[in-house]
Structure 1
Amino acid sequence: MANSNGPRGRPPRIRWRGRDWTQTAQRQFDPTAGSDLTSVIVLAIADADGVPPHQITEPTLFEYVDVEAVSRLVENASGTDAGTDSVRFGYDGSLIEVRADGHVSVFVPVGDTK
């Protein structure tokens, strides 16, 4: 999925743990479509890194987050809750955000290139 643009065509930015981050990739997780969250996160990381997904092997995602717990956040979201809750975690120098509405975003520190 293509990045959504922020003001004036810039990628969205967020602030996390005292740093500014800019979005480099975004994917959508839909638990009703038969996809799994791990695959969607890996695809988003691969998009951000500009590599095929099979090259995302180290470090393993499970070293950074309990993917099953995050998946339950999305699966149990309904109506007004969807999109308001999120989980953020660091992964190999990037920031991953999974929102309750299924949006999976990859961010890098502002000024960094990946």
Structure 2
Amino acid sequence: TTLCLQFPARTVASACTYLACRMCKVRPVGGRDWPEVLHVEPDALASISVQLMELIAEKKGCDLAVFKDIRSELDKMASGGVSGVKRPMSGGGSDVKKPRLE
């Protein structure tokens, strides 16, 4: 996978944390959503998570139906946030795709 070239390591790690929490049925508290808790852009979280789910399903031979609920939430995030309102992220969107020239 080329995730490490597409996104900063911290953003990929946040998406892994998101997927692990979702698989264990852990939810954010206090009315917050995942991008806010993890301090990542919803589009980046959705893109990375979908790529990881496809990779896992391909390698492990899993049925993609297992990821249906997660995919639905990710689609909502990418199209304007889970709550329907896209919130600006603190940090000015620094986790959006950027070249890894650092």
Tell me the TM-score normalised to structure 2 length.
0.29
Higher RCO (C-alpha 8 Å, min separation 6): 2
Could you state the TM-score of these two structures normalised by the residue count of structure 1?
Answer: 0.27
Structure having the larger proportion of residues in helix: 2
Give the structure with the larger strand fraction.
1
